[in-house]
Amino acid sequence: MEHLFSTFSIKGCQLKNRIVMPGLASFLIENDGSIPREAIEHYRLRAAGGPAMVIMEACAVSPEGIVSPHQARIYEDRFVEGLSKIARFMKAEGTIPAVQLHHSGRQTSAKVIHRQPVAPSPLPCPSIRGDVTPLTVTGIQELVNKFGDAADRALQAGFELIEIHGAHGYLINQFLSGFSNIRQDAYGGDIPGRTRFAQEIVREVRKRVGNEYPISFKISAMEFVKDGLNVAESIEILKILVKEGIDVVQVSAGNDATPEWISQPMFMEKACLTDFSWAIKKALDVPIMAVGRINEPLLAEDIIKSGKADLVCIGRGLLADPTMPKKALEGRLDDIRTCIACNTCMQSIFKKGRVECLVNPALGREKEMAFHPAKTIKKVMVVGAGPGGLNVAWVAARRGHDVHLFERQPQLGGQLALGSITHYKKGLRKLIRFQAKQMERFGVTCHLNQEVTPDTLRDHSPDVVILATGSAPVYPQIEGIDNTLVISINEALDEHSRAEGKTVVVGGGPTGCEIALHLSEKGSQVTIVEVLSKLASQMESITQKMLLRKLMENNVSFKTNCRVLRIEENGVVIAEKEGGQMTLPADQVVFSIGNRPENGLFNQIKSMGYEIHRIGDCLEPRSAKSAIYEGAVLGRAI
């Protein structure tokens, strides 16, 4: 990967390779804006992993510009000390410390800032909604000055590059875009008018930092909404800003109405924004940073080699594995914990107010999840090679335990292996490969094709038994459930099965919808029957949006607020909410209505005197994320 690991220069910044971590909210900042040790460690670890530059998350330049109570701030001198610690630790690890300056504009809530959000025009945020206060010219000038003050503080803190956040539906983007700016004065109308606010900010920041200091600008080159920015307009905007002193451009996409283009789910192609970065690179004479589901070193190498960008931004990939650059440089590609674009990070932000990762349970818990050698070496038997079993096995082995993993199937992965059959979830196979590599590295002994019984325990005499036996599908007790029309989820997802004719999928949760999409793409005419009013209601919102769109594109029919009464020879009889009944013709029927724990082995051996633990679905059917996290915690504890 000679291109990815070649050096590069942006003014006085000498980059050791072409990998940049873009600004990503850590949600580790305290409510008062102070920087705790967890946030410092988060950035130190990302810097230590080998990227050339790390851009610290968006720092609010003004109190009303905060998008979350956990956002970093830079609008008062008291924040400089904490920010300087992050910059100092990043630099000590050999990485260029950079920082992003930000104002949310209308894309925040009155509950967060205790006043109406400001905006260029009296148009509310389409995702948050609520009244906004249009900025006066005086208000605009005050904010320009606040960006300048923030730049002064960034210099004091020791950051060596400043990025101005002009993307993703935030305030500067709101001024740039006809989607959100309907002003009739000097700050609206045509492209020069809509660019004036950004132009004045760049000019002010340049005045504060001097001519030799590098400035980046992040833009949503395509917004994918009516009257939103497109690449041609973005090029004209950037030409104006380059004249004012922009040295490098990060090319992103999307806004508050099209978040799927900001944090691309697994349904979208990898590196899906690089054609935009390439078009802008050909039009401008400044370096270009590409972003957008670039999750693998070989993919990043191709982008640099092809000339589509000068630098690659890897964000979620460095949340999943902060050591990715070093591992890639050393040729340890199978040892990389790859981001699978499940958007668990996004879901956890909105539901828990913190960033979590399905594949990396240590994210945000780096100190808590540090590895320590086991005080007493034990023989550990892990039963089940699904996500939880795989994770607990190698974590325990890394600490020095003698770990034996038993799996009744001939391959590793459990539900992960089954889920990876659909083309948009093939990334799960890399997670399985990563777990398998760690087991090999730390000496886990695998026993495949072996059913565990009480006799197995007596033969192996473990000190600790960990059950990760997963769960089994639930089938309703209805007439016709044994009909040959009914096939299992395994049969429905079998790579070699044919999907012809009509299929009824009973259960419109995430799994049912994914099965329906898979079968529809293979040629079946699919109908989903769901007892609730909405489909995939427990799924992360961006992924849900894309999945439902894909289902509609593939002509999948939905029957919500309906329940199955019985299975007949040629179809499924359902009851509708209004009280009527109808028959859905079917050549096959798949039930995806939930799972029950596979805990029979626990009941058999709990009286045998062994130290026994359960993790994952065998305790309670949940998610792969829960199983991996529980495995990570238990593996560090035994």
> What local confidence, expressed as pLDDT, does residue 518 receive?
95
**Mean pLDDT, to the nearest integer, of 440-446?**
98
Per-residue pLDDT averaged across 55-76, rounded?
97
Q: Which residues contact 189 (CB under 8 A, 6 or more apart)?
A: 183
Residue 567 β-bridge partners? 572
- Domain for residue 97, yes or no? yes
Residue 7 predicted with pLDDT over 90:
yes
Using one digit for the tens of pLDDT, what is the confidence trace for 21-57? 999 999 999 999 999 999 999 999 999 999 999 999 9
Q: Which domain holds residue 406?
A: 379-470+598-637
User: Do 418 and 555 fall into the same domain?
Assistant: no
Which of 335, 352, 369 is a domain's end point? 352
State pLDDT tens for residues 514-533: 999 999 999 999 999 999 99
Give the closest residue to 462 by CA, choosing from 371, 393, 391. Answer: 393
Are residues 587 and 602 both part of a single domain? no
Band (423; pLDDT cuts 50, 70, 90): confident
CATH number assigned to the domain comprising residue 543:
3.50.50.60
pLDDT of residue 354: 85
User: Residue 331 above 80 pLDDT?
Assistant: yes
pTM of the predicted protein model: 0.94
Domain check: are 589 and 605 in the same one?
no
Tell me: do 30 and 173 sit in the same domain: yes
Task: With a cut of 80, say whether residue 499 has pLDDT above it.
Answer: no
Looking at residue 251, what is its pLDDT?
98
Residue 496: per-residue pLDDT: 74
Residues 383 and 274 in one domain: no
3-state secondary structure of 444: coil
As a whole number of angstroms, the distance between CA 469 and CA 348 comes to 26
- Is residue 357 one of the residues assigned to a domain? no
Say whether both 174 and 313 belong to one domain: yes
Please indicate, yes or no, if residue 359 is contained in any of the structural domains: no
Whether 115 maps to a domain, the answer reads: yes
pLDDT digits (tens, 9 = 90+) for 247-279: 999 999 999 999 999 999 999 999 999 999 999
Q: Which of 607 and 160 is assigned the larger pLDDT?
A: 160
Q: Residue 578 has what pLDDT?
A: 81
| 170 in active site | yes
24/142 same-domain check: yes
Total tally of structural domains belonging to the chain: 3
DSSP 209-264: H-TTS-EEEEEES---STT---HHHHHHHHHHHHHHT--EEEEE---TT-GGGTS-
Is the pLDDT at 86 greater than 90, yes or no?
A: yes
- Contact status, residue 166 vs residue 103, Cβ threshold 8 Å: no
For residue 558, tell me if it sits in a domain: yes
| Same structural domain, 390 and 460 | yes
Q: Which of the four pLDDT bands, split at 50, 70 and 90, describes residue 155? A: very high
Query: What is the H or E stretch that residue 588 is in?
Result: strand 588-591
List the CATH number of the domain containing 430: 3.40.50.720
pLDDT of 495 higher than 80:
no
Choose one of 557, 578, 593: the last residue of a domain.
593
Same domain, 503 and 610: no
Q: Are residue 164 and residue 308 in the same domain, yes or no?
A: yes
Helix axes 191-209, 137-157, angle to 10 degrees: 40
- Within a domain: 360: no
589 located within any domain: yes
Q: 120 and 227 share a domain?
A: yes
Own/partner long-range contacts of 518-523 (Cβ < 8 Å, ≥24 apart): 518/421, 518/422, 518/492, 518/493, 519/492, 519/590, 520/551, 520/554, 520/555, 520/556, 521/423, 521/554, 522/498, 523/499
Average pLDDT, the chain: 96
Estimate to the nearest angstrom the gap between the alpha carbon of 126 and the chain centroid: 22
Cβ proximity of 619 and 468 under 8 Å: no
Average pLDDT for 446-455: 96
Rounded CA gap, 124 and 470, in Å? 46
Is 368 part of any domain? no
Catalytic hit among 75, 170, 213, 424: 170
Instruction: Tell me, yes or no, whether 567 and 619 share the same domain.
Output: no
